[in-house]
Amino acid sequence: MSSKDEIRMGGIAVRYLVEGHEANNTVAMFEFDVAPGSKVPGPHSHDGYEETVYGLEGILTFTVEGKVTEVGPGRVLVIPRGAVHRFDNFHPTTATLLAVITPGILGPSYFREVADLLRASAGGPPDLASLGQIMHRHGLTPAT
């Protein structure tokens, strides 16, 4: 996948820079944009990998295990395995971050499946049971 291939999910866009299979599944890396006020994933965790995010443009507000951290340009946040987290863009500009997944077991197929599900919902809320199945299949656990 080239860095120009983009997966769009409403106000979120994901561009993979390194897929796990390209790095012996040691790392995956993608840029993602979050437009102001976008519908974003609900609280979730992942038990099989860490996620490290680095701010490139704008500010994204992360809540990790109840602690709120704003990640803007040059700021980094490590989300440990099993930590319940979410993010929001409460600011007036689009936020762009770099995400590093270690080991590299989360691939673009997860985002494509979510994008397909959102398109199928035709602007309404997605089928939450189907979303949960997609998340579990790719190593994410929705928080209750």
Q: Which pLDDT value is given to residue 121? A: 87
> Which pLDDT does position 10 carry in this prediction?
87
> Among residues 40, 28, 1, which one has the least CA distance to residue 102?
28
Extents of the domains making up the chain: 7-142
pTM of the model: 0.91
Give the model confidence (pLDDT) of 97-132 as tens digits: 999 999 999 999 999 999 999 999 887 788 889 999
pLDDT of 84: 97
Beta strands 12-18 and 67-71 are: unpaired
Span 7-142: which CATH code?
Answer: 2.60.120.10
**Strand order of the sheet with strand 50-57?**
7-9, 12-18, 28-34, 95-102, 50-57, 76-79
* pLDDT 10s digits, 52-102: 999 999 999 999 999 999 999 999 999 999 999 999 999 999 999 999 999
Q: State yes or no: pLDDT of 3 exceeds 50.
A: no
Pairing relationship of beta strands 95-102 and 28-34 according to DSSP bridges: antiparallel
Q: State whether residue 128 is helix, strand or coil.
A: helix
Under a CB-based contact definition with an 8 Å cutoff, are residues 31 and 107 in contact?
no
For CA atoms 72, 141, 102, 114, give the dihedral sign: negative
